[in-house]
Structure formats: structure tokens, C-alpha cells
């Protein structure tokens, strides 16, 4: 029996489309495409979407690097449903509700040693801006208010709020909005002359971290508040750091009194087989931003994990009033808190972090099986995240990858085109047969794309 035969018709009439200005989308092209119904998803379960045209598509991207436990998981769905009928909203501005405290405690239990305090936001973008504000305020409390400059990294993505765009290193994002705060950038870590087709952490390139010393010398450490990096750069094309690179950044930050922020909006909650990438790499930052997988993307939530040292600076040095004049109406929202608790319980009960570690083996094998296909210039991976980089077409950068993406979707697999890269980042519940299918479909799509 067709499982969607009795479902209501959710295909929109063309008159329904104009009101919604879609984010990060070519609206004019999307709303007029002939296969629009095949691009509108109407339901999801486990590893799969169902489209308005009735097709089933495997979600090999955890949609936007976020549906780590798979879609519509019963425990999470029921927790949200029950919470909506019990306490729909309560503020956390000098009021509070128990679930926010419970959710924060569960997140802190998973965090690296020493990062046991959680400031809730509603997204990764807000988490980044919050972390940057915490860094500025921390230095002011320590009597070093001149530390106001941030260091980001080329190809880094830190959300779309103004501060996050500024520290980010994606040119299209920065072109209009990226010059409003004092920022410098490290070079990115991708060097195909050194590390083409690296399996896991590239063996060479840790010395790239030493560029931070040059930037510190240029601006003087007394003017630098924090360095922010993604442990694995996601939206910049899935760039895996060279072996020892992050540890060297930590050493340089310690030397100069600079806070180190890991943006783990993508890598947090099991992507590398550990709760956070910091634990995978054995490098502990001062602040960790998170979002996405904290609620399995069911209800918007983000946050910042804060080290004891930074937290106590606020608790002991800010006077008797509010310690930090910052927060959001929906910080620690009851529905988001309930979703987070249920999500973390799902990860634990199903052993999804451990399963991700096991599936990293066939995932690595599958992505590197594409290395010799036409136009493939690099394959790279770590845990359950990876990318295939394609040679750009003359005068049409990104076009080849977009065609591969479209062909894979037509064959029932959703991967993401990022410039000239095809990224894969499946839910942690993926099995070996599904991993094999993902890369078989992507491989066929690459072969058919000139």
C-alpha cells in the first residue's frame, strides 16, 4: 500500500509561493522550476524524506548538518507534543522553568572537562554572537578592555548575524555585511599539493597554525579578544584540520591570553563519534558554540558552553546586579528544552555516537571510492562528514557540482553542492547499506556530468 495515498494534497498552487522569501535560495529559479513538486518535502521518517510528488529521498546531509538522530523520532516527537500541552512558554529572564536547567545539565555532562555552564540561544548564528560578546565582556572584567579584535579563518562559516559574518570567511557572505567589527583571518587549511585525498586528519600542514603568531604580532595580543574556528569547516567545503593543527592554535592562544572558541554547530552531538569535536581532537577551547543536533533540529535551539574560568569571571567580577546584559526572549524555551532532553536521551539509548564511529569506516571507504572518477580532484572525510571536490568548469564555478546534486536527488539521494564540492553528512543512524547507496548514486551522478 502506498503510505502517502491518503495524505492530503500539500502541493502549493503557484499563487502560494510569492509570500515566502526563501533563505539562501535562488527564489526566481526555484519557484518556476518544472519539477517543483519533487522539490517540496511533505513528510519525513528516519533516513528519508517524502516529496509532494510522492518520491522518497534519502537525506544524506542530515538536511543542513542537523538531523543527527534521523527524522520524526518517536521519543522526541512525543516530548514536544506533551510539553506544548503542559507549559507552552515561560521566560528565563529572572523567572525560569525546570526543563531549561535539566537540558543545560545534560549538555554539560557531555561537554569536555571544565566546560560546565550553558548559555542558551535559538540558533547557531545567535550562539556565535553570544560567544563573541562573552569574550569581549570577559576581557573587560579582567581589566583588559582593549581586547576587542577577533580572529577568524578563511572559508569559515559562523552563521549570518553581523558579528558571525564578520569573523566568517565566506566571501559571498562578507561582501555586503562583513566589515562592521575589527577582524583578521587565518588562511584556510586546504592545500591539495600536500594532502590530496587524505583519509581523516591530513598528515601535513600543522604549521599553518603558526600564522596566528604573525597576526598577533601585527595587531598585538593586548588588542585581541578571541580566535574562533570550526574544528572541521563545514559550509566552507568540509575542510579537515591537519594533524596537530588545533592543538597548536590552543598553545598560541594560551601564550597570548587569547580565548579560543570552537564553533561546533555542525560537529557537536556525535558527528565525529564523540559528543563534541573537542574531545575527538583532544583540544579543549574556552567556549563552544552549539545548535542543530542539540534538538535534532526539531525546535530551534543553540547555545554556548562556557569554561569555569570564564564563567567565574562574571560571577565574581560583575557586581551584585545582572552579570551579563544579554539574552533572547526564547533562550531555553520549554519546547526546545523538552526536545533537547529527548534528543540527548535518544542518542544515549540508541548508542548513536558509538554507531557513528563504526559507520565512519564504510563512509571513508565509500567517499574515497570516488577518487578516480572524471573531474574529481579531491576526496576528504572525518567521522560521518566528507566532501568530493570537483574541478570547476571554465567560467562557471559551481555548475558541475550543482548538476551532480540535481542528478543525485533525481535518483533519491540528497547531498549538498557547496561551490565545487559535493558534501555528505548523513544522520548518525545511517547503516552500511545506506552508506554504500549514497556513494553509488553520487558516483553515477558524477560519471554522467561532463
Are residues 188 and 43 part of one domain? Answer: no
Are residues 122 and 84 part of one domain? Answer: yes
Are residues 128 and 26 part of one domain? Answer: no
Are residues 399 and 250 part of one domain? Answer: no
pLDDT tens for 70-118 read 999 999 999 999 999 999 999 999 999 999 999 999 999 999 999 999 9
**Is it the case that residue 2 has pLDDT exceeding 80?**
no
Asked whether residue 172 is domain-assigned, the answer is: yes
Are residues 108 and 41 part of one domain? Answer: no
Domain total for the chain?
2
pLDDT of residue 314: 96
> Which secondary structure element, helix H or strand E, spans residue 385, and what is its range?
strand 385-390
**Is it the case that residue 4 has pLDDT exceeding 60?**
no
The grid cell for 436 is 554504500
Among the candidates 328, 349, 370, a domain finishes at 349
Among the candidates 349, 376, 404, a domain finishes at 349
- Range scoring the smallest mean pLDDT among 165-174, 214-223, 244-253: 165-174
Q: Given the DSSP bridges, would you call strands 149-153 and 115-121 parallel, antiparallel or unpaired?
A: unpaired
Asked whether residue 430 is domain-assigned, the answer is: yes
Are residues 400 and 304 part of one domain? Answer: no
Among the candidates 307, 325, 349, a domain finishes at 349
Quote the domain boundaries for residue 370: 14-65+351-447
Q: How many CA atoms lie within 13 A of 379 on its CB side?
A: 20
Are residues 261 and 393 part of one domain? Answer: no
* DSSP single-letter state for residue 46: B
Count of Cβ atoms closer than 10 Å to residue 86 Cβ: 10
Asked whether residue 411 is domain-assigned, the answer is: yes
pLDDT of residue 440: 98
pLDDT tens for 317-357 read 877 889 999 999 999 999 999 999 999 999 999 999 999 99
pLDDT of residue 35: 86
Q: Tell which residue, 193, 197, 189, 232, has the closest CA to residue 364.
A: 197
Asked whether residue 9 is domain-assigned, the answer is: no
- 181 neighbors 147 (Cβ within 8 angstroms): no
Are residues 391 and 323 part of one domain? Answer: no
pLDDT band for position 189 (50/70/90)? very high
**Statement: the pTM of the whole predicted model exceeds 0.75:** yes
Asked whether residue 8 is domain-assigned, the answer is: no
Are residues 301 and 389 part of one domain? Answer: no
Are residues 207 and 87 part of one domain? Answer: yes
**Is it the case that residue 264 has pLDDT exceeding 90?**
yes
pLDDT of residue 34: 85
Asked whether residue 178 is domain-assigned, the answer is: yes
CATH of the domain at 246: 3.40.640.10
pLDDT band for position 12 (50/70/90)? low
Using alpha carbons only, what angle is made at residue 306 by residues 302 and 311, rounded to the nearest 5 degrees?
130
**Is it the case that residue 207 has pLDDT exceeding 50?**
yes
Asked whether residue 339 is domain-assigned, the answer is: yes
Are residues 302 and 154 part of one domain? Answer: yes
Q: Is 119 helix (H, G, I), strand (E, B) or coil?
A: strand
Using alpha carbons only, what angle is made at residue 280 by residues 166 and 156, rounded to the nearest 5 degrees?
15
The Cα–Cα gap between 256 and 147 comes to: 11
Are residues 191 and 169 part of one domain? Answer: yes
CATH of the domain at 430: 3.90.1150.10
Q: What is the length of the chain?
A: 450
pLDDT tens for 297-325 read 999 999 999 999 999 999 998 778 899 99
Q: Given the DSSP bridges, would you call strands 421-424 and 385-390 parallel, antiparallel or unpaired?
A: antiparallel
The grid cell for 264 is 561546533
Amino acid at each position: 500500500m502506498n503510505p502517502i495515498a491518503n495524505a492530503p494534497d500539500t502541493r502549493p498552487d503557484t499563487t502560494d509561493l510569492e509570500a515566502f522569501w526563501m533563505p539562501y535560495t535562488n527564489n526566481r529559479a526555484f519557484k518556476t522550476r518544472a519539477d517543483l513538486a519533487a522539490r517540496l518535502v511533505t513528510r519525513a521518517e528516519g533516513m528519508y524524506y517524502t516529496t509532494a510528488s510522492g518520491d522518497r529521498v534519502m537525506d544524506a546531509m542530515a538536511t543542513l548538518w542537523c538531523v543527527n538522530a534521523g527524522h520524526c523520532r518517536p521519543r522526541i516527537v512525543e516530548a514536544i507534543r506533551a510539553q506544548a500541552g503542559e507549559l507552552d512558554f515561560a521566560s528565563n529572564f529572572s523567572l525560569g522553568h525546570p526543563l531549561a536547567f535539566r537540558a543545560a545539565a545534560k549538555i554539560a555532562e557531555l561537554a569536555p572537562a571544565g566546560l560546565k555552564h550553558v548559555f542558551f540561544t535559538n540558533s547557531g548564528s545567535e550562539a556565535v554572537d553570544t560567544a563573541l560578546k562573552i569574550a569581549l565582556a570577559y576581557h573587560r572584567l579582567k581589566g583588559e578592555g582593549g581586547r576587542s579584535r577577533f580572529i577568524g579563518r578563511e572559508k569559515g562559516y559562523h552563521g549570518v548575524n553581523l558579528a558571525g559574518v564578520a569573523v566568517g570567511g565566506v566571501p559571498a557572505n562578507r561582501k555586503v555585511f562583513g566589515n562592521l567589527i575589527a577582524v583578521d583571518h587565518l588562511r584556510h587549511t586546504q592545500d591539495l599539493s600536500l594532502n590530496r585525498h587524505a583519509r581523516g586528519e591530513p598528515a601535513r600542514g600543522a604549521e599553518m597554525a603558526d600564522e596566528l603568531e604573525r597576526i598577533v604580532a601585527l595587531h598585538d595580543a593586548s588588542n585581541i579578544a578571541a580566535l574562533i574556528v570550526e574544528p572541521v569547516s563545514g559550509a566552507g567545503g568540509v575542510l579537515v584540520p591537519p594533524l596537530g593543527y588545533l592543538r597548536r592554535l590552543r598553545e598560541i592562544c594560551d601564550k597570548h591570553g587569547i580565548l579560543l572558541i570552537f564553533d561546533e554547530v555542525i560537529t557537536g552531538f556525535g558527528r565525529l563519534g564523540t559528543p563534541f569535536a573537542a574531545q575527538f581532537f583532544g583540544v579543549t577551547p574556552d567556549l563552544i558554540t552549539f545548535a542543530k543536533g542539540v534538538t535534532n533540529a526539531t525546535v530551534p535551539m543553540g547555545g554556548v558552553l562556557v569554561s569555569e574560568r570564564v564563567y567565574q569571571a562574571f560571577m565574581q567580577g560583575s557586581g551584585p546586579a545582572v552579570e551579563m546584559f544579554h539574552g533572547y526572549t526564547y533562550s531555553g524555551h520549554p519546547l526546545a528544552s523538552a526536545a533537547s532532553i529527548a534528543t540527548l536521551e535518544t542518542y544515549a539509548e540508541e548508542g548513536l555516537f558509538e554507531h557513528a564511529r563504526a559507520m565512519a569506516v564504510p563512509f571513508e571507504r565509500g567517499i574515497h571510492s570516488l577518487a578516480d572518477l572524471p573531474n574529481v580532484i579531491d576526496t576528504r572525510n572525518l567521522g560521518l562528514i566528507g566532501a568530493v571536490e570537483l574541478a570547476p568548469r571554465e567560467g562557471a564555478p559551481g555548475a558541475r557540482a550543482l548538476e551532480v546534486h540535481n542528478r543525485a536527488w533525481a535518483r533519491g539521494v540528497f547531498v549538498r553542492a557547496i561551490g565545487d564540492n559535493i558534501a555528505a553528512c548523513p544522520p548518525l543512524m545511517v547503516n552500511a547499506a545506506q552508506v554504500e547507496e549514497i556513494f553509488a548514486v553520487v558516483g553515477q551522478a558524477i560519471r554522467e556530468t561532463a
